[in-house]
Amino acid sequence: MDFQPIERSPEAFQQPVTADQIVAMTRRAFGPHVRVSAAVELGNGTYNNTYRVDLDLAAAGAVVVDDDDGGAPPPGDRSVILRVAPEPARQFRTERGFLRNEVASIPHLAPIAALMPRLLATDFSHEVVGRDHVFQSLLAGVPAPEGLGAYPRTAWGAFYRSLGAITRTIHDVRGERFGPVAGPVFATWAEAVTAHLADLAADLDGLGLDSTDVRRLAESAARHRAALNRITEPRLLHGDLWTVNVMLAPGAPEPTICGVFDCDRTSWGDPEADWPILLAGRRPGTERDAFWEAYGPLANTDEARLRRLIYRASHLGGARLERHRLGNAAGVAESYAEMRELLALLPQADPACRQS
């Protein structure tokens, strides 16, 4: 077996599994006679450990049911994706059970199912390895961060227009409660937002980082609960839809999205709180403006602008965790200055109270 893990320090957040563990996980998923010819760790993500696993099916006479007709695939090597979650003790409160959350979200993501990898096997038992893991089909295409560079910037508008259309399709899915798809869920949007901020502050405390500003943000969200609770219908949010999590069709005349992956941050909430909405709004006057042509305009009321400030600050708190995990001390320090600026923009009185 050709095993190519990414070398990391023992202190790194992501820790690889062993070659023997990959063989054991694969045989449990697809049968005891499947032979693993290669396992190569992919380094694009910062949370799960992701591997491309090559299965030599011809040598074993094994069957993996993942073709369109539900029968045996053609003989020979077959590549699949193995995603392994961090050990439970390494997971932040705000990131707990991400793979379980993704599996729970699959039925709700049916409108974009044709773009997503197929779930081949799931194991949350921790019997083979003490970590959640799933096997998925390998998406065709080129990762967007690599593929976009093959096109002139004048053509990038087509990419962002497509990203806006996919985001709108996801946001059109309706739910019944607010919060992560796999739970916990809440009856109101304000409860879901403040619960997330409380977990975020606890995560920062656990790392020895100052959480005072995030706790102030949670207090502000509670004070503005009337504006938050104007959002009464939960909509499906992807949570991480941007260039790093999509594939492009190779050789297409314009950048064309052919795959969407890493859907483990899905939740029910206000569409304007979703990650792609925040990123699409950055750098106005560029090709990103094409996003709104397909998605549609955002609300332009005092309440909506207030909510977006809260969401922006919440995302910044999450980015602080990510920067710490990546050893970006300067970025962590910058997040405190950025948060001070955002908190200063939040009004003391709730616009919803003035308008109700």
pLDDT digits (tens, 9 = 90+) for 231-252: 999 999 999 999 999 999 999 9
What span, in angstroms and rounded, lies between the C-alpha atoms of 206 and 91?
11
What span, in angstroms and rounded, lies between the C-alpha atoms of 53 and 26?
9
Final residue belonging to a domain, choices 137, 170, 203: 137
* Number of independent structural domains in the chain: 2
Does the pLDDT value for residue 3 go beyond 80?
yes
* Residues 98, 55 share a domain: yes
Higher pLDDT, 44 or 98: 98
Has this prediction a pTM greater than 0.75? yes
pLDDT digits (tens, 9 = 90+) for 91-150: 999 999 999 999 999 999 999 999 999 999 999 999 999 999 999 999 999 999 999 999
What span, in angstroms and rounded, lies between the C-alpha atoms of 68 and 222?
49
- Structure token pair of residue 99: 């793979």
Per the listing, tokens 């003035």 go with 354
Per the listing, tokens 């949010």 go with 237
Final residue belonging to a domain, choices 95, 116, 137: 137
Higher pLDDT, 66 or 19: 19
Q: Tell me phi and psi for residue 60, to 5 degrees.
A: -95, -15
- Upstream peptide bond of 184 is cis (omega within 30 degrees of 0): yes
What's the mean pLDDT in 264-293? 97
* Residues 148, 193 share a domain: yes
* Residues 149, 55 share a domain: no
Final residue belonging to a domain, choices 137, 169, 201: 137
- Residue 56's pLDDT is what? 87
What's the mean pLDDT in 14-38? 95
Report which secondary-structure segment, H or E, holds 275. Answer: helix 275-280
Per the listing, tokens 């941007």 go with 242
How many Cβ atoms from other residues are within 10 Å of residue 17's Cβ?
21
* Residues 159, 308 share a domain: yes
Does the pLDDT value for residue 62 go beyond 70?
no
- Residue 265's pLDDT is what? 97
* Residues 157, 113 share a domain: no
- Residue 351's pLDDT is what? 54
- Residue 347's pLDDT is what? 85
* Residues 207, 112 share a domain: no
CATH number at residue 161: 3.90.1200.10
* Residues 316, 196 share a domain: yes
Does the pLDDT value for residue 266 go beyond 90?
yes
- Residue 75's pLDDT is what? 43
Cα Rg of the chain, angstroms: 21
What span, in angstroms and rounded, lies between the C-alpha atoms of 118 and 114?
9
* Residues 333, 196 share a domain: yes
* Residues 109, 60 share a domain: yes
* Residues 88, 53 share a domain: yes
* Residues 86, 162 share a domain: no
CATH number at residue 38: 3.30.200.20
Strand order in the sheet with 77-84: 2-4, 35-42, 49-56, 77-84, 133-137, 119-123
- Residue 43's pLDDT is what? 86
Whether 96 contacts 85, CB under 8 Å:
no
Whether 317 contacts 200, CB under 8 Å:
yes
Domain that holds residue 59: 2-137
* Residues 119, 68 share a domain: yes
